[in-house]
Amino acid sequence: MSTKRVVLIHGWGGSYASTWQEPGICDLLIEAGFEVTGIDLLGHGKSLKPHEPSAYNDLSRQLLEELPTEPVIAVGFSLGALTLLRAAIDAPERFIGLVLAGIGDGVFQPSRPEETEQILAGIEGRAEPDDNLARLFAQYAHRPDNDPLALAAILQRAPQSQLTPAMLTHISAPVLVAIGEKDFAAPAEKLCAAFSNSSLSILPRIDHFATPNSFPFIDALLSWLETRAT
């Protein structure tokens, strides 16, 4: 197996270290013969953490600026997957493979301000005690090394341009769409079908937050990467 570079991109409230290094996923990829690069999105991990929502209006452009110069296989989870998808739409030549985890057909739907407000209420301690979704997002926002104000600012950025299936048809790189059976972002059949070369992995009994560290996802990722290596 020849070495290929894999770029790993975390989700909202995560980081390269917490999402990919600490669970040992980086080690597994290295053992499988891949060179691993991690990126911390703006507002996360070791990156700057501005509190102005406008700073986060173009995360995909910032991602493209941080990618290696040669085409790569890139793996993104949740916000990282959505940012990666937008980057691939803008610059498909930068990628020889994409893994999109924790996003689904909702990427083609308009943003829902009420959901954003629900999460913001959780971060700011205003949510109802029985609002489990808000509570989970609040836990992520207040984890050590996170900046809740920066994470809230990401949610308050300007609405992103509307995506359509037609925008994905010129992405020729092979794509793996992986989504948990219990993920609130499911289903993902429409998203998967929009690519010219894609496969869908539905992770049994897995919810959104458990996705990147789950055995079904890791198995699906390693199996898919094995087919990319020559």
Non-local (6+) Cβ contacts of 55 within 8 A are 42, 43, 153, 157
Q: What percent of the chain has pLDDT over 90?
A: 95
197 near 175, Cβ under 8 Å?
yes
What percentage of the chain carries pLDDT values higher than 70? 98
Q: What is the pTM of this model?
A: 0.96
- Which helix (H) or strand (E) segment holds residue 76: the answer is strand 72-77
| Ranges of each domain in the chain | 4-109+163-228
> Quick check: 73 and 228 in contact, CB under 8 A?
yes
CA 103 to chain centre: 7
* DSSP assignment of 141-196: HTSTT--HHHHHHHHTSPPPPPP-GGGGTT--S-EEEEEETT-TT---HHHHHTSS
| Reported confidence tier of residue 1, pLDDT bands at 50, 70, 90 | very low
Distance of CA 142 to the CA centre of its chain: 19
- 129 phi/psi in degrees, rounded to 5: -60, -30
Which tokens go with 175?
């794509």
| For residue 183, pLDDT beyond 90 | yes
CA 208 vs CA 120, 133, 168, 222: distances in Å: 18, 11, 23, 19
CATH architecture of 4-109+163-228: 3-Layer(aba) Sandwich (3.40)
- What is d(CA 121, CA 151) in angstroms, rounded to the nearest whole number? 13
Alpha helices, DSSP H, located in 21-147 = 25-31, 59-66, 79-90, 113-123, 132-141
Q: Would you say residue 2 has pLDDT above 70?
A: no
pLDDT 10s digits, 134-180: 999 999 999 999 999 999 999 999 999 999 999 999 999 999 999 99
Beta-carbon contacts of residue 216 (< 8 Å; ≥ 6 apart): 201, 203, 204, 206
Average of per-residue pLDDT values in the chain: 95
The stretch 66-74 carries a mean pLDDT of: 96
Q: What pLDDT is stored for residue 3 in this prediction? A: 52
Farthest CA pair distance, the chain = 52
What local confidence, expressed as pLDDT, does residue 228 receive?
79
The tens digit of pLDDT for each residue in 4-15 reads 899 999 999 999
Query: Could you give the CA distance from residue 138 to residue 119 in angstroms, rounded to a whole number?
Result: 7
pLDDT tens-digit profile of 82-134?
Answer: 999 999 999 999 999 999 999 999 999 998 999 999 999 999 999 999 999 99
Neighbours of 106 (CB within 10 A): 18
User: Minimal CA–CA distance to 107: which of 28, 195, 227?
Assistant: 195
* pLDDT score at 188: 98
